[in-house]
Amino acid sequence: AHGAVVAWLSAQAHDQPQRLVQALALAVRVGSGRPTFGHTLIESAPSGLEGVTIWLAELAHAAFDVVLIVDEADRLPTNSRDAVAYLVRNAPPNLRVVVAARTDCQLGLDDLVAYGQCIVIGPAFLRFQIDETMELVRGRLGTRLDNDTAARLHELTEGWPLGLQLAMSIVAAGTDARAEVDSMAARSGSLHDHLVDLLLANLDPADGAFLTRIAILDLLHPDLCRAVTQLDDAPQRLMRLSNDTPMLALAEHGEWLRMHALARDALRLRVAALPAAERSELHARAATWLAEHGQLEAAARHALESGQREQAYALAERSLYESLMAKGRQEAVLEWLARLPDEELDRRPRLLLAAAWSLALGERHDEAGRLVARLLERTAADEALRCECALILSGAAIFADEPDRFAELHDPWAEAPPLRDPMLLQVHANRTAFRALLEGEPAVARLRQQRAPQAPDADSLHYIGRWSDFIVGLSYLWEGQALLAENLLQPTLARADADLGRRSPFSCMLAALLAAAVWERDRPVDAAALLANRLDVLEHSGLPETVLLSFRTMARIAAAEGTEHRALELLGAMDAAGIARRLPRLRVASLVDQVRMHARRFRAETCRALCTQIDALLADPAAPRGRLWRRSVDVLRELAHGYAAIAAQDWRKALAPLERADGLAVSLKLGRMHIELLGLRAFVLDRCGEQSLGLLREAVDLAQAYGLLRVFKDAHPALGDWVRQAMRTPDEVFAAPPAATIGRPSPHEVSRPRATPSTALTPKEREVLELLARNLSNKEIGLAMQVGEETIKWHVKNLFAKLDAGTRKQVVQRARILGLLEAADR
Confidence of residue 803 (pLDDT cuts 50, 70, 90): confident
Which helix H or strand E contains 435, and what residues bound it?
A: helix 422-438
The CB-side HSE value for 532 (13 A sphere, CA atoms) comes to: 23
pLDDT of residue 752: 60
Q: Could you write out the three-class secondary structure of 610-628?
A: HHHHHHHHHHCCCCCCCHH
DSSP letter string over 291-322?
A: HHTT-HHHHHHHHHHTT-HHHHHHHHHHHHHH
pLDDT of residue 689: 92
What is d(CA 678, CA 697) in angstroms, rounded to the nearest whole number?
10
DSSP 8-state class, residue 746: P
pLDDT of residue 735: 45
Ranking 2-6, 247-251, 646-650 by mean pLDDT, the lowest is 247-251
Percentage of the chain surpassing pLDDT 90? 56
pLDDT exceeds 70 at position 8: yes
Ranking 45-59, 385-399, 448-462, 483-497 by mean pLDDT, the lowest is 448-462
pLDDT of residue 826: 38
* Alpha-carbon dihedral sign for residues 559, 561, 564, 566: negative
Task: Give the long-range contacts of residues 349-356, CB within 8 A, separation 24 or more.
Answer: 349/375, 349/378, 349/379, 350/317, 350/318, 350/320, 350/321, 351/313, 351/316, 351/317, 351/320, 351/321, 353/321, 353/388, 353/392, 354/320, 354/321, 354/323, 354/324, 356/389, 356/392
What is d(CA 99, CA 71) in angstroms, rounded to the nearest whole number?
6
pLDDT exceeds 80 at position 184: no
| Mean pLDDT value of segment 619-636 | 96
Cβ proximity of 615 and 607 under 8 Å:
no
| Mean pLDDT value of segment 365-384 | 87
Ranking 58-62, 104-108, 135-139, 607-611 by mean pLDDT, the lowest is 104-108
pLDDT of residue 634: 97
DSSP 8-state class, residue 132: H
Confidence of residue 210 (pLDDT cuts 50, 70, 90): very high
pLDDT of residue 673: 98
Nearest Cα neighbor of 494 from 505, 509, 507 is 507
Of 165 and 728, which is predicted with more confidence? 165
pLDDT exceeds 70 at position 110: yes
Q: pLDDT tens digits, residue range 580-614?
A: 999 999 999 999 999 999 999 999 999 999 999 99
Cβ proximity of 403 and 632 under 8 Å:
yes
Of 179 and 190, which is predicted with more confidence? 179
Of 471 and 318, which is predicted with more confidence? 471
Q: Which fold has domain 753-822?
A: Arc Repressor Mutant, subunit A (1.10.10)
| Mean pLDDT value of segment 468-490 | 96
Q: Could you write out the three-class secondary structure of 216-262?
A: CCCCECHHHHHHHHCCCCHHHHHHHHHHHCCCEEECCCCCCEEECHH
What is d(CA 458, CA 57) in angstroms, rounded to the nearest whole number?
54
pLDDT of residue 775: 83
Average of per-residue pLDDT values in the chain? 88
pLDDT of residue 195: 66
Q: In terms of DSSP H, where are the helices of 581-648?
A: 584-599, 604-619, 627-647
Cβ proximity of 726 and 693 under 8 Å:
yes
Confidence of residue 188 (pLDDT cuts 50, 70, 90): low
| Mean pLDDT value of segment 636-649 | 98
When computed from its CA atoms, the radius of gyration of the chain, rounded to whole angstroms, is 33
pLDDT exceeds 50 at position 746: no
Q: In terms of DSSP H, where are the helices of 61-129?
A: 78-89, 110-114, 123-126
Nearest Cα neighbor of 400 from 539, 543, 510 is 543
Amino acid at the residue 44: S
pLDDT exceeds 80 at position 755: no
Cβ proximity of 514 and 116 under 8 Å:
no
| Mean pLDDT value of segment 683-708 | 95
Of 287 and 163, which is predicted with more confidence? 287
DSSP letter string over 380-422?
A: ---HHHHHHHHHHHHHHHHHTT-HHHHHHHHGGGSSS-S---H
Of 638 and 159, which is predicted with more confidence? 638
Confidence of residue 559 (pLDDT cuts 50, 70, 90): very high
Of 504 and 809, which is predicted with more confidence? 504
pLDDT of residue 187: 63
Confidence of residue 220 (pLDDT cuts 50, 70, 90): very high
What is d(CA 478, CA 675) in angstroms, rounded to the nearest whole number?
12
pLDDT exceeds 50 at position 740: no
Nearest Cα neighbor of 710 from 514, 522, 558, 512 is 522
pLDDT exceeds 90 at position 629: yes
pLDDT of residue 750: 42
| Mean pLDDT value of segment 31-59 | 88
pLDDT exceeds 70 at position 757: no
CATH architecture of 5-120: 3-Layer(aba) Sandwich (3.40)
What is d(CA 209, CA 203) in angstroms, rounded to the nearest whole number?
10
Quick check: helix, strand or coil at residue 762? coil
The residues near 18 (Cβ < 8 Å, ≥ 6 apart) are 45, 46, 47, 51
Other CB atoms within 10 A of residue 364 CB: 16
Percentage of the chain surpassing pLDDT 70? 92
pLDDT exceeds 90 at position 665: yes
Confidence of residue 526 (pLDDT cuts 50, 70, 90): very high
| Mean pLDDT value of segment 499-528 | 95
| Mean pLDDT value of segment 637-645 | 98
Cα-based distances in Å from 41 to 19, 93, 812 = 10, 21, 37
Q: In terms of DSSP H, where are the helices of 741-788?
A: 763-772, 778-785
pLDDT of residue 252: 58
pLDDT of residue 749: 40
Cβ proximity of 501 and 515 under 8 Å:
no
